[in-house]
Amino acid sequence: MHLIALKMLTGDRAKYLGLIFAIAFCTFLLENQTSIFAGILRRTGSQILDVTESDIWVMDAKTEYFDQTKALKDTDVNRVRGVEGVQWAVRLFKGNAVARTMDGKFAASLCFGLDDATLTGVPRKMLVGSWERLREPDAIVVDKAGYLLLFPDEPLQVDRTLELNDHKAVIVGISDASAPFLSVPIIHTRYSQAINFVGRERTQLSYVLAKSAPGVNLDEVTHRIQAQTGLLARTTDEFRWDCIWYYLKNTGIPVNFGITITIALIVGTVVAGQTFYLFTLENLKQFGALKAIGVTNWRLTRMVLLQAITAGAIGFSIGTGMAALFFELTLHKIATRGLVLWWQSVVLTAGCILLVIIIASLLSIRRVVVLEPAEVFRG
């Protein structure tokens, strides 16, 4: 009877393809939008994750997210170093500078000043050039997207000169830094150099990057830092999530994406569910004939479930394939780099599609089960 069920499903090509398309479209929209949403939220903390050497970020006690900084005192780095369980601690400066090419093209950029001695926080993956050259005078490393923003359609090339807030800067390396929340060039340089670029103020230190000692509980160290310095200490993962929650609570991003995802879910559910339900209704007479012939309700239920699961699986697979293709095509584009199809999104969508299929199946099965087989005698 399984083959009969599948032949019934695929017999009317137009309805079958309509059903598959509805599920595939719903799948694509859900996976696409939830993955982009997750990817954009991930970008809010991407520069935090790019710093791989340290595991603790220390900042002003009122800091809520990465882009909101209040300068610390230069002595704070030594106070952090003095906390038990801290293996080492270094300075990190974060500021904004206007980068301008010799042709006059300019862009506001995010400028990181790294500890002069250790260069902690430098992007380790370089596409062109070398981060070790940051020790040279006026040296900066710029990310690929920023480079292409300043030098559109030009090959990646080091030793080119920029102006950063009217100071000369030489590109010694082009990095593959993660995409930031805003599409601005990301510039890494030495701490002392960055202060020159951005402009000296009374206090300069944005963050203290610290590393916990081996074998020491990370949470205990952050609690000790907070207790002893009065500053806020967060692990890399905690700080990344702080940023995500801040944007979730304080921006329209979740509402915007939420509406799209909800509409995708509702439209997909209604169209896919209703198409399958109508498909069953149109086959009721055939189900009635099968009942009269002696096919049990349980076997008919299995037939309907098989039809629903088959349509759902094919539609979901096609939709997931479309979503994967979309992200494959956009992954290497500058504006959408780093946006990928999240496995969590695939699992979530699979759950939604399964729910749709179950609801549509239950409604359909109910109609089949309550159907009087004697109905087939009524013309």
Partner 1 sequence: MDRENSIAVVTRGLKKRFGGNGATVEALRGVDFQARLGELTFIVGPSGCGKTTLLSVVTGLLDPTEGEVDLFGQGIHRLPANQQIDFRRQNLGFVFQQYNLLPALTAAENAAVPLIAGGVKWSEAVDRAKALLDHLGLNGRRDALPAKLSGGEQQRVAIARALVHEPRLVVCDEPTAALDHATGEKVMELLAAKAVHPDRAVIVVTHDSRVFHYADVIAEMDDGRIVKTEDKRLKEVLA
Nearby residues of 148 by Cβ (< 8 Å), 6 or more positions away: 154, 334
- Closest CB to partner 1 among residues 7, 202: 7
Residue 6 CB, shortest distance to partner 1, in Å, is: 9
Residue 239 CB, shortest distance to partner 1, in Å, is: 59
Question: Is the CB of residue 38 less than 8 Å from the CB of residue 342?
Answer: yes
What's the rounded Cα separation, in Å, for the pair 38 and 214? 32
What's the rounded Cα separation, in Å, for the pair 22 and 9? 15
Residue 298 CB, shortest distance to partner 1, in Å, is: 9
- Closest CB to partner 1 among residues 346, 376: 376
- Closest CB to partner 1 among residues 11, 252: 11
Structure tokens at 364: 């359909």
Measure CA of the first residue to CA of the last residue in the chain; give whole Å: 25
Residue 358 CB, shortest distance to partner 1, in Å, is: 24
Q: Label each residue of 101-159 as H, E or C.
A: CCCCCEEEEEEEEECCCCCCCCCCCEEEECHHHHHCCCEEEEEHHHHHHHCCCCCCCCC
Nearest partner of 326 among 24, 16, 23, 47, judged by Cα = 24
Residue 258 CB, shortest distance to partner 1, in Å, is: 41
- Closest CB to partner 1 among residues 247, 287: 287
Q: Are strands 167-175 and 139-143 parallel, antiparallel or unpaired?
A: parallel
- Residue 161's beta-bridge partner residues? 170
- Closest CB to partner 1 among residues 7, 62: 7
Per-position b or e across 326-349, b if 16+ CB within 10 A of its CB? bbeeeeeeeebbbbbbbeebbebb
Nearest partner of 284 among 377, 367, 379, judged by Cα = 367
- Closest CB to partner 1 among residues 20, 340: 20
- Closest CB to partner 1 among residues 95, 288: 288
What's the rounded Cα separation, in Å, for the pair 206 and 72? 6
- Closest CB to partner 1 among residues 180, 288: 288
Residue 7 CB, shortest distance to partner 1, in Å, is: 4
Residue 369 CB, shortest distance to partner 1, in Å, is: 12
SS3 252: coil
Structure tokens at 305: 């479930």
Residue 299 CB, shortest distance to partner 1, in Å, is: 8
- Closest CB to partner 1 among residues 203, 286: 286
Residue 377 CB, shortest distance to partner 1, in Å, is: 5
Question: Positive or negative, the Cα torsion across 103, 104, 110, 114?
Answer: positive
Distance of CA 171 to the CA centre of its chain: 29
What's the rounded Cα separation, in Å, for the pair 68 and 222? 20
Which spans of this chain sit near partner 1 (rule: CB under 8 A)?
Answer: 1, 3-4, 7-12, 285-286, 288-290, 292-296, 299, 372-374, 376-379
Residue 301 CB, shortest distance to partner 1, in Å, is: 14
- Closest CB to partner 1 among residues 2, 70: 2
